[in-house]
Amino acid sequence: MSGSGHHRNGELQARVNVLLALAEERGVVTRTQIDERIEALGTSVSPLNGALMVVRAWNDDGYRERLLADAGAAAAEVGIAGGGYSSDIRLHAVANTPEVHNVVVCTLCSCYPLAWLGPPPAWYKSEAYRSRVVRDPRGVLAEFGTVLPDDVEVRVWDASAEARYLVVPMAPDGAGALSEDDQLDLVTRDCLIGVAVP
């Protein structure tokens, strides 16, 4: 890293320290609370959270119905609460079918269901993905290796400050014969965004 990079990082850290000191001084938050929150995020945000919900939906039709009706409540059922989001942010689950394939984007920024999908990949936040997946979703999916038949409708879901989306992929043939752990291995973050299939 160049000297100017170190300088910029030092300036940023100094600003963060000033803000933390002010927040502490005013009783808004303590450094211990901030450290605890960072540690909790590091251990609680993972694509495994979304995969757990998907695999349960594959194996339990009642849960699948509840997941599609109210994904936030269904997440809480499996012990995955809102990940620190305000109650104004709602999680929606959209299911792939033989007729419909779903893919998620945030065209304005990079709104993303961090608690359920883990840290977002760099490509998700890129302007190229955010603009192209809306205009040419099949082309973008093909670049990820997901080539869909012409008769499958592709639906693009645009996340926002109020709504986050999670794709429920179809279970691949033979998944029912696998253990739950093996099923979990099939559901990647990219499947949950919709650019891949298990």
Is residue 132 within 8 Å of 140, Cβ to Cβ?
yes
Torsion of CA 156, 88, 64, 114, to 10 degrees: 70
Q: Residues 44, 46, 109, 126: which is the catalytic one?
A: 109
Q: Indicate which residue of 4, 44, 87, 111 is catalytic.
A: 111
Active-site entry in 2, 44, 110, 179: 110
List 2, 106, 126, 131, catalytic entry: 106
The span from the CA of 115 to the CA of 126, in Å, is 20
User: What Cα–Cα distance (Å) separates residue 73 from each residue in 17, 65, 91, 110, 120?
Assistant: 37, 12, 9, 24, 23
Q: How far apart are CA 166 and CA 112, in angstroms?
A: 9
44 is catalytic: no
Residue 191 bears catalytic tag: no
Q: Could you list the beta-strand ranges (E) of 39-152.
A: 90-95, 100-105
Residues identified as active-site: 106, 109-111
